[in-house]
Amino acid sequence: MKKTLAHFRTWFKFLLLATLAAFFIVGAITFFYKPVYSVTLGDELIGYSENKSALQERINQYIEKGNGENVAFVEIGELPEYKLCFSKKDIVTNDEEIFNKVIEQGTTYYKYYAITVDSEEKYYVSSFEEAEQVINDLKEKNSSNKDRLGMLEKYEVELKEFTSVETCVASLYEKPVVKTRTTTTKKSSGSSSAGIYATGSNTTTAKVNIGISFIRPTSGVLTSRYGARWGRGHAGIDIGAARGTPIKAAASGTVTYSQYGYNGGYGNYLIISHGNGVQTVYGHCNTLIATTGQKVSQGQTIATVGNTGNSTGNHLHFEVRVNGVTQNPLNYVSY
């Protein structure tokens, strides 16, 4: 028993002395030294930082946003490495110098938009909204080059000189060429209107009974309704969908027109006659599959969604006509 107590006292004294020694060593280190991070870039020591997280966060934000307008991102070839160490308290940290040393090796990429004519870059603007406005304004003015306009999203290391929307429109506008139009009346089964143009529009809420059940001509989202739009009448509905989405015949009938071109703003379009003076029109198509004179069944693919003619994005313009007068398509199909 006495031997056990003696051993216990010996070990207790040892632990006490070890603990006191540890406190003394830690206290001495804390008094003369402080924890910092040494920062290296490659094999080069570029300084010391007390707050590694804040410094790296600042570098990350610079990579994502850069410094200045229209910066898309900054590409930095090599990021700093950090190592925890104890240094004398009088050592000077230099976060600002480290930050500048890291970013000076970066390559800045700028994002902007080019306005093109026949795929050739003509002018540059700062934002997508400005590029879209230039093209829309030229289409509203019926510029003769409106079907040859485009925009490109650019990522370059050199920022181009930007041109205002007004200057772009004024410089790119081309006066429409007036051509003599010959209208040929074409007889077709059950059709009372010739060509693409309707003879009138039903501006009331009354639904005309056509005796036909239609299906949705394409999948997508309703983006514009029938009736008044932008200060004038809209003869059908617009259904937004991806380019190449199949367009199906809303009902069986005979294709009376299947024509590529601008076509009064309809772009590539088809007209199907369903009998009893009922027609459906499919505008702004990308590809026309059904041909003039072809008989089609309900649900048969006749074309694909596109952005041709007077159009600002991929969609189907869909009309319902009775004896040449446009009707509200939403009275016959639901979206």
Which amino acid is located at 210 in the chain? Answer: I
pTM of the model: 0.44
pLDDT digits (tens, 9 = 90+) for 70-127: 998 898 888 999 999 988 777 889 999 999 999 998 899 999 999 999 889 999 999 9
Is-contact 325 198, C-beta < 8 A?
yes
Positive or negative torsion for Cα 50, 52, 56, 57: negative
- Integer CA distances (angstroms), 243 to 35, 94, 113, 284, in order: 60, 55, 22, 10
322: three-class secondary structure by DSSP: strand
Q: Burial of 227 by CB count in 10 Å (0-12 exposed, 13-18 middle, 19+ buried)?
A: middle
For residue 146, what are its two tokens? 């409106």
Q: DSSP state, 91?
A: P
330: which DSSP letter?
A: G
Region of residue 138 (phi > 0: left; psi between -120 and 50: alpha; otherwise: beta): alpha
Give the tokens for residue 175: 């006066």
pLDDT bin (cut points 50, 70, 90) of residue 177 is low
Q: Is 63 left (phi over 0), alpha (psi -120 to 50) or beta?
A: alpha
Confidence of residue 198 (pLDDT cuts 50, 70, 90): confident
**Would you say residue 39 has pLDDT above 70?**
yes
pLDDT of 193 higher than 50: no
Q: In whole angstroms, how large is the CA radius of gyration of the chain?
A: 36
Judge contact between 279 and 208, C-beta under 8 A: no
CA distance 223 to 242: 13
From CA 259, how far away is CA 40, in angstroms rounded? 67
194 has pLDDT over 50? no
Q: Domains of the chain: which residue ranges?
A: 32-105, 111-172, 200-331
DSSP assignment letter at 161: P
pLDDT on residue 280: 96
Cα gap 286→311, rounded to integer Å: 12
Which one of 4-18, 66-80, 184-198 scores highest in mean pLDDT?
66-80
Nearest Cα neighbor of 248 from 269, 283, 217, 274 is 217
pLDDT tens for each residue of 19-37: 766 766 666 556 666 889 9
Estimate to the nearest angstrom the gap between the alpha carbon of 23 and the chain centroid. 62
The CATH number of domain 200-331 is 3.30.70.250: no
DSSP code string of 216-276: -SS-SEEEE-SEEETTEEE-SEEEE--TT-EEE-SS-EEEEEEE-S-GGGT-EEEEEEEET
CA distance 112 to 68: 13
Stretch (H or E) spanning 192: none
**Helices (H), ranges, the chain:** 2-32, 52-65, 95-103, 128-140, 165-172
Neighbour count for residue 305 (Cβ, 10 Å): 25
Angle CA 184–306–217, to nearest 5: 80
